[in-house]
Structure 1
């Protein structure tokens, strides 16, 4: 049976994109090159926006690192201490660290970099830092109040450290000069960049000498490049292709759950969605188990609450699970004043049809098919939801200008090793670009603030459960699925491993098979 025209066009586009890329594994200098492909394009050099690319490629470092057990270890900071009152933190900089331009990594250079990050909207502002300065060869933070999670925040990719020469006179980033085991050779924004091994790195010398990175948003392109051998490491595959990839003897398919949740971001300030009964009805309409099994090829991925088991400290085993119940869903909608019209679409007393638009993006291949399934499931209870597939940037911009109604997103609670950092962004008094919109809980905000001050693990555990319970009850975001990470590696590689926190591609640990 011939392929449909739209499928044929998409395959031709994917083939053309793959064919346009260099297939040689050898640089002109004779060095063997690792080819890495992921969905993420290099839209800017600014760490506040694309720092995750430069940390994953091991170009730049943060002050604090996280080991395979999730424990904090030294990055550019060799050690750190805090004062008895918790208001001052001191970080000693690794004395042998060098930037890629040969200059030493000094406390002054680190302070200037973090001062810039603090002046911008972003994660570091949530620490309450009042001053960041270099004193006596150490980096010193002065805080307005104690903040026990500071080391976790300083492991986030938006706080990566660049050399002073990275910045133009106006403070913008003109080049990425980090201190990691790989240095940037060339950037062809937004699609690709090249790195090579930094011979002046003060840690273990990597085996892989050169890396070509490509941001390819289409899942078909990534899958074809993996299957054809045009790429050595390919991240984020479409679940429908898992069996084909697994059957390829030249590939290793890696899958593992991540501390990431796919959920519907709800504009709770919208006149249709402000009613909690409506949000609960929408949640009750979702067949999470069916979507996880059929679309994600992982039945265990059905989200019964916001935090997945991979975020063990925040996952609450005893929480009443989210489940489908169409009868209860329809009853709640009737109670909220919605009645089905002749066309089956709900209408309120003013005669308005219950019509909304859900935005999502294709960089994560699971999202569009999940959006289509959600569309059908909400239609079954009378909600007419259109699906708009665009760029991921449309979601934060829609949050900022108030135009967003619904969005299907995937949020990683491991971006900051302590999820508190992400929650402060998402569920604070003003919500967040990727979190709450038009919703605020005094209890949640106060509890998050209290948690940032305390170190007692028992008290923190109790507060985590209280936050999870409120979010489950009020649904400012509606959980759909727990994310399953996927990547393929060529059998040409050895010592391949996957970072469960998505901090690094771990290229410096890899080598070539004989």
Structure 2
């Protein structure tokens, strides 16, 4: 027993030494008295809004036409009003007047139009809307669509549609600096790890006394390092904490933990076009061997996060309490594999026609809970005769594997609130061709048709719309192009020297403009 207890202690000391080096490598020193320091695992992969634009919305440097509140309801931002034509083919957004970019130039309708046209011409959420034209009409932005698309206003809350000053672009239209119109302006950038912001006095005048005036974001890859930075007082907000970090901070004199359930689900993305996975019986067998509550309890320390269906309770209008829940049943899993022609081999791994039932599960370290969940899934699938090789790489490996066709299984964490109306994300994931983070090689005509109808907004009653949502959930539960594992609770460590910390369930903002020095 003593030897068993000593091993974690020695391991922790080793990690601490490595983490100290990691913190030093990132240039993290003692927290400045007047600078709020935010740490997370995400690096800035570029300045273009389509790349790392979410970093600049989270730090409140840039704005979009619209925003949402904590329940996903639309709120004005750079646009004060929005309305659609009777046929749903035109949307009009009235812009807020008297706003300035951080370089002092006015936020003009022409500059807003240029950014939106640029976003519509690049891969991103606006491609879902079937936009025919974006134009100015008496100072308002008018979208003309090829077909009605009710979620358009929610697309205009997405970070890829952020509005930048003309000075942000070079002569070729490339983003070379970030000049936004939000409460904070860029003070310095050191790609890809760090950027500093300062309060922009042109946004509503001087900040009230005691508010944060300077802030810094630092990308720190290891969850252990982020924990140590908070414990030592070198960071004020730390995101994407793993369960050991959360336990280590529960009684910290330096920090408090703030949490909220997000509309995010960790699931296994399956290549349903793969010869082994094309048979729905195999997909159902995999689903039946997943011990969701066990994973949630042992790895996440939160048994309530076992995913009984794809859509979590935090996703209003989509979680179906009446849907038969996903369960664990190893006997039934083995029966399904038997029926699919996969028989146990001498080594316990199933074979059919001389082929071994061996698959690769790819995941990434950006979210620290994913590798240990992958290891648990590897063992759970082995118990029913499926050999799994786990490959841990970068998050970009998942979409790259989807596009090349090489991906077999991927363990991902998908935020269905990436656009606050989930229809937009579901169209990306489960449309006719599937999506980078959703279905792969799955052929089903019903779900894309239902999603297209939901996107049109053409419903006589709310009950009819709810029925279509429930049907989407039921088909996904039956066909299993993706296999839900756990839901997600965001936990943030916040220094006791600040007050007012909260969590945005749509992960659009860190809310630093509303924080106060305690």
TM-score range, shorter chain: over 0.9
Deviation at 1:385, TM superposition (A): 0.4
* 1:296-321: CA deviation from partner (whole Å, max 9, x where unpaired): 11100000000000002000111111
Q: Hey, what's the Cα distance between the residues in 2 that align with 1:420 and 1:13?
A: 43
Instruction: Tell me whether 495-504 or 472-481 shows the greater mean CA deviation.
Output: 495-504
Contact 2:30–2:233 (Cα < 8 Å) also in 1: no
The equivalent residue for 2:502 is 497
The equivalent residue for 1:228 is 232
1:395 is aligned to 2:401: no
Contact 1:194–1:210 (Cα < 8 Å) also in 2: yes
Deviation at 1:67, TM superposition (A): 1.7
**One of 247, 253, 263 as aligned partner of 2:251:** 247
Contact 2:31–2:233 (Cα < 8 Å) also in 1: no
Contact 2:223–2:245 (Cα < 8 Å) also in 1: no
Q: Hey, what's the Cα distance between the residues in 1 that align with 2:206 and 2:348?
A: 65
Deviation at 1:202, TM superposition (A): 3.4
Matches within 5 A, 1:180-199: 180-199=182-201
3-state SS of paired residue (2:132):
strand
Q: Hey, what's the Cα distance between the residues in 1 that align with 2:277 and 2:9?
A: 38
Instruction: Tell me whether 176-185 or 3-12 shows the greater mean CA deviation.
Output: 3-12
Q: Hey, what's the Cα distance between the residues in 2 that align with 1:280 and 1:112?
A: 48
3-state SS of paired residue (2:356):
coil
The equivalent residue for 1:117 is 119
Contact 1:108–1:133 (Cα < 8 Å) also in 2: no
**One of 377, 396, 410 as aligned partner of 2:413:** 410
Deviation at 1:88, TM superposition (A): 1.0
CA RMSD of aligned residues (A): 1.5
Deviation at 1:25, TM superposition (A): 3.6
Q: Hey, what's the Cα distance between the residues in 1 that align with 2:203 and 2:217?
A: 21
3-state SS of paired residue (1:194):
strand
Deviation at 1:179, TM superposition (A): 0.7
* 1:186-238: CA deviation from partner (whole Å, max 9, x where unpaired): 21111111111111113773621111111112111111111111100001111
Q: Hey, what's the Cα distance between the residues in 2 that align with 1:175 and 1:400?
A: 31
1:479 is aligned to 2:481: no
3-state SS of paired residue (1:488):
strand
The equivalent residue for 2:322 is 318
Q: Hey, what's the Cα distance between the residues in 1 that align with 2:337 and 2:387?
A: 13
**One of 281, 285, 288 as aligned partner of 2:285:** 281
The equivalent residue for 1:152 is 154
Matches within 5 A, 1:76-475: 76-202=78-204, 205=207, 207-349=211-353, 351-454=354-457, 456=459, 457-475=462-480
Deviation at 1:493, TM superposition (A): 0.2
Deviation at 1:5, TM superposition (A): 8.0
Q: Hey, what's the Cα distance between the residues in 2 that align with 1:469 and 1:107?
A: 44
Q: 1:115 to 1:422 in 2, by over 3 A?
A: same
3-state SS of paired residue (1:270):
coil
Contact 1:307–1:315 (Cα < 8 Å) also in 2: yes
Q: Hey, what's the Cα distance between the residues in 1 that align with 2:85 and 2:150?
A: 11
Deviation at 1:2, TM superposition (A): 5.3
The TM-score, its normalising length taken from structure 2, stands at: 0.95
Deviation at 1:160, TM superposition (A): 1.1
Deviation at 1:6, TM superposition (A): 7.0
Q: Hey, what's the Cα distance between the residues in 1 that align with 2:368 and 2:474?
A: 30
* 1:458-485: CA deviation from partner (whole Å, max 9, x where unpaired): 2221110010011000000000000111
3-state SS of paired residue (1:497):
coil
Q: Hey, what's the Cα distance between the residues in 2 that align with 1:167 and 1:268?
A: 42
Deviation at 1:4, TM superposition (A): 8.6
3-state SS of paired residue (1:176):
coil
Q: Hey, what's the Cα distance between the residues in 2 that align with 1:169 and 1:134?
A: 23
Matches within 5 A, 1:48-59: 48-59=50-61
3-state SS of paired residue (1:452):
helix
Instruction: Tell me whether 143-152 or 475-484 shows the greater mean CA deviation.
Output: 143-152
Instruction: Return 5+ residue gaps in structure 1 as ranges.
Output: none
Instruction: Tell me whether 67-76 or 308-317 shows the greater mean CA deviation.
Output: 67-76
Q: 1:204 to 1:467 in 2, by over 3 A?
A: farther
Contact 1:98–1:202 (Cα < 8 Å) also in 2: no
**One of 21, 24, 32 as aligned partner of 1:16:** 21
3-state SS of paired residue (2:347):
coil
Deviation at 1:171, TM superposition (A): 2.3
Contact 1:93–1:105 (Cα < 8 Å) also in 2: no
Instruction: Tell me whether 116-125 or 17-26 shows the greater mean CA deviation.
Output: 17-26
Deviation at 1:149, TM superposition (A): 1.1
Q: Hey, what's the Cα distance between the residues in 2 that align with 1:127 and 1:205?
A: 38
Contact 1:346–1:382 (Cα < 8 Å) also in 2: yes
Contact 1:269–1:437 (Cα < 8 Å) also in 2: yes
Q: Hey, what's the Cα distance between the residues in 1 that align with 2:458 and 2:229?
A: 47
Instruction: Return 5+ residue gaps in structure 2 as ranges.
Output: 1-5
Contact 2:363–2:370 (Cα < 8 Å) also in 1: yes
The equivalent residue for 1:62 is 64
